[in-house]
Amino acid sequence: MSGPLNLPVAMLAPLEWGYRLGAAWKHRRWDRGAGVERLACPVISVGNLTAGGTGKTPMVEEVARRLLRFGSRPVIALRGYRADRDGKSDEAELHRAALPEVSVVVGGNRAAALRERGIPLRPPTVVVLDDGFQHRRLARDLDLVLIDASRPSLRDRLLPAGWLREPASALRRADAVIVTRAAAADPELAAAIEDLHGNPPIAWVDESWSRLRVWTAEGMREDPPEWLAGRRVATLLGVGNPAAYRRRLLAHGCEEALAIPARDHQHYPPARLAEIERVCLSRGIDLVATTAKDWVKLGHAWPASLTAIVPQLELQFRAGEADFEARLRAAAGFRG
């Protein structure tokens, strides 16, 4: 796997070693407990080893939904990459739209951000850390790490030569590993994870498109994914792992006639939207398939001449759902 800078590894090796040394120094401090705060309420972290998407957003929302069913009061806390002064970021807005009954708190220092919002940090509150594996300033009662089955991340290099935020051996400090984007359990991957973590994954999870939200000049309608069959679309995918989206798009019989370049957390000023509109229409394309993460930034100014297709994700447990739920219940303080 090439890194985010897409340069020869030989050029990036010195930067990779500098990153490795800096990360090791920080983690040694946290291993000693320096600067680590424990809240009076349970904390559940959902994180990963890599930069880029592993399916954290739907998993965080799945955790929050189950906590609601248990009778807890979940609060999602995240850094909020590129958040504005009002605490709005693409991921935060996704959570707020999907779970309007759940508070979403944004801030680099998540404990401070929770207190500033006046969140009562005592049960039945349960704090769910979105992308929390490296945010070790907060102690956690359950540390879940996601591994994407579609990416060979365990053999990758550290940033910026590869996509790993820390060595794969860091899995040892996780409480449990969940494999995402997995059509079925993979014995070889399970063995590799067990070798690094000490235990095999507790669950194997896949994503499916439950429905499509189709946005036109007249408004939004919902269609089944089969609606895509035989259609030519442009793709606009400002996410960390667009390959997973593309595989599902093609599996539904769609032709990707144009791939519009976009970075993870891409912003779309008016001039960029006008250029997207011009390029699509010049190619005879009026359908643009994008992600829910992109749509929270696009929807307010989307060109009326283009139809936007936004799939809605649904998690499906292939194995280990009972163990996953039991661990959530225990961490949240429910023993029954």
273 plus 193 within the same structural domain: no
Rounded-to-10 torsion of CA 218, 294, 128, 209: 70
- Secondary structure (3-state) at 40: coil
96 plus 157 within the same structural domain: yes
Q: Give 144's Cβ-side CA count (13 Å radius).
A: 28
pLDDT for res 2: 66
239 plus 299 within the same structural domain: yes
216 plus 326 within the same structural domain: no
Dihedral pair phi/psi, residue 323, rounded to 5°? -65, -45
Q: Is residue 99 part of a domain?
A: yes
pLDDT for res 98: 93
| Tens of pLDDT, residues 294-329 | 999 999 899 999 999 999 999 999 999 999 999 999
pLDDT for res 30: 87
181 plus 230 within the same structural domain: no
Q: How far apart are CA 194 and CA 211, in angstroms?
A: 35
pLDDT for res 89: 83
Q: Is residue 195 part of a domain?
A: yes
Domain with 72 in it: what CATH number?
A: 3.40.50
SS (H, E, C) 156-195: CCECCCCCECCCHHHHHHCCEEEEECCCCCCHHHHHHHHH
Q: Is residue 150 part of a domain?
A: yes
Q: Is residue 194 part of a domain?
A: yes
Q: Is residue 256 part of a domain?
A: yes
pLDDT for res 69: 96
pTM for the model: 0.91
pLDDT for res 5: 74
pLDDT for res 87: 66
Single-letter residue type at 334: F
Q: How far apart are CA 334 and CA 20, in angstroms?
A: 39
Q: Is residue 32 part of a domain?
A: yes
Using omega within 30 degrees of 0 as the cis cutoff, is the peptide bond preceding 160 cis? yes
Ranges of the chain whose pLDDT falls below 70: 1-2, 82-87, 336
- The candidate with the shortest Cα–Cα distance to 78, out of 295, 300, 293, is 293
275 plus 295 within the same structural domain: yes
163 plus 49 within the same structural domain: yes
Whether residue 273 contacts residue 301, with contact meaning beta carbons closer than 8 Å, is answered with yes
- The candidate with the shortest Cα–Cα distance to 46, out of 22, 70, 62, is 62
pLDDT for res 4: 74
76 plus 20 within the same structural domain: yes
pLDDT for res 201: 98
**DSSP-assigned letter for residue 257:** E
Boundaries of domain holding 59: 9-202+320-332
Q: How many domains does the chain have?
A: 2
Cα 147-150-155 angle, rounded to 5 deg: 65
158 plus 221 within the same structural domain: no
325 plus 286 within the same structural domain: no
Contacts of 77 (CB under 8 A, 6+ apart): 104, 105, 106, 107, 110, 113, 114, 127, 128, 129, 130, 132
Q: How far apart are CA 243 and CA 144, in angstroms?
A: 24
193 plus 177 within the same structural domain: yes
pLDDT for res 83: 63
pLDDT for res 86: 67
161 plus 263 within the same structural domain: no
Token pair for residue 5? 């800078």
**Other CB atoms within 10 Å distance of the CB of residue 128:** 30
pLDDT for res 336: 55
Q: How far apart are CA 20 and CA 69, in angstroms?
A: 41
Whether residue 49 contacts residue 165, with contact meaning beta carbons closer than 8 Å, is answered with yes
| Tens of pLDDT, residues 103-142 | 999 999 999 999 999 999 999 999 999 999 999 999 999 9
Q: Is residue 60 part of a domain?
A: yes
Q: Is residue 2 part of a domain?
A: no
pLDDT for res 182: 95
